[in-house]
Structure formats: structure tokens, C-alpha cells
Amino acid sequence: MRSEDGTVEAELRHQVEQLELWKQLAWCNIIFTLLLASWMIWGSFKSENAVHGEMRVHRVVVIDDANKERIVIAAPLKELPVVNGKTSKRRVGVSAAIQFKEADGTERGGIALEDDGSFMFGIDDERGRERAHLFYIPNRGSAVYLQAPGAKTVSLADPPANAGQPGLQIVSSDRAITKQWP
């Protein structure tokens, strides 16, 4: 492999030296990256605001296999509800919520704390119609709303405003009170 003037051997020696240099640079780069990552991780544990075993986020979204939102946990819940593919307005803003959805985005139920202090648990049918709700509204109190699928009436145990007598009302689909207790 040696020529008369030694050029092949010299060229090979030069290439081996270059490879050794690149190898040393690669190892230095790996060590530097590991040290930097360790420093960043260690620094996050030493942070004054870091709490071990806690995750702090404004929004968590659970998706299905088709990448559709199925559960949203948010504070605040900024998105508007979807019923049968149509967006509708909320009565007031929602400061914190857990929202359950169909694959098409229709809201099926959830738990919500509203900006006005109202708190509710709701169950909707497959079309997004309200079926069972337990709720609290400031200055009114707690109430229950029940409606069977296809029913023409709604049962509502509703405390009246201004701390009056609570009552049970059966309300027709045209909102007329058909039975009331007491």
C-alpha cells in the first residue's frame, strides 16, 4: 500500500485523523447535550413554583381513535356548546368544566362552574337535548330538571327566586304548567 512517494499512506493517515477528530466532536456533543438536559431537569425540580406530582394546565383534551375531541377539561371553557352540529350560545361564561362530547362534537353532558357562581351536572341525549340536570343558581338555590325522550312534559323541582316556597312543576312542551305542587 505504500507508494514511492508515500502519498497513499499519508492520505489514509490524514483521513483516519479526520475521523478520530469527528468521533471526538460527536462524543463532546453527546456529553454536552446530556449535561444540558440534566441541568434543565434539575433546574425544574429546584424551581420555587414547581410542585412534585402535579400537572398545571388550562386545558386537557381526550381524543378518540379518529382524533375527535371526546372529553374536554378546561378552566375556563372558552368554546361554545355544539348541539346537532350547530354552535349555540351559553347563558354565562364557564370558569371551569368537564365536558363530554359525541364524535360529531355534540355536547352530551358535563360538570360546569359558571362565572355567575352557578354549578351544574348535566346529561344530554344523543341530539344534545337536555335530559337530566342537577344545578345550583345563586339567589335561587338548587334545582332538578328531568325530561324523558319523546315526552311532552318536563319535571322540574325548582326553587323560586327571592327564597320563596320550593315547588314541583310539570311543564308541557309549549312551556305551560300542567301540574304544580304545592
- Residue ranges of the domains in the chain? 1-56, 58-128, 139-182
CA distance 13 to 175: 95
Share of the chain above pLDDT 90, in %: 21
C-alpha cell of 6?
A: 508515500
Supply the DSSP string of 32-48, one letter for each residue: HHHHHHHHHHHHHHH-T
Q: Per residue, what are the HEC states of 140-180?
A: CEEEEEECCCCCCEEEEEECCHHHCCCEEEEEECCCCEEEE
- pLDDT tops 80 at residue 170: no
- On whether the CB atoms of residues 117 and 139 are closer than 8 A, the answer is no
Task: Tell me the C-alpha distance between 28 and 172, whole Å.
Answer: 78
pLDDT tens for 86-145 read 888 888 889 999 999 998 888 899 999 999 999 999 998 887 778 888 888 888 778 888
* CB-based burial, 82-94: b 16+ in 10 Å, e otherwise: bbeeeeeeeeeeb
> What would the pLDDT profile of 39-88 be if each residue is shown by its tens digit?
777 766 555 555 557 778 899 999 999 999 999 999 999 888 887 778 88
Contact 170, 180 (CB under 8 A): yes
- Please count the residues of the chain: 182
- CA dist 143 and 118 (Å) reads 11
Single out the residue of 132, 134, 112, 114 nearest to residue 124, CA to CA.
132
Mean of pLDDT values over 12-33: 77
- CA dist., res. 57 & res. 141, Å (int): 31
Question: 0.75 exceeded by the pTM?
Answer: no
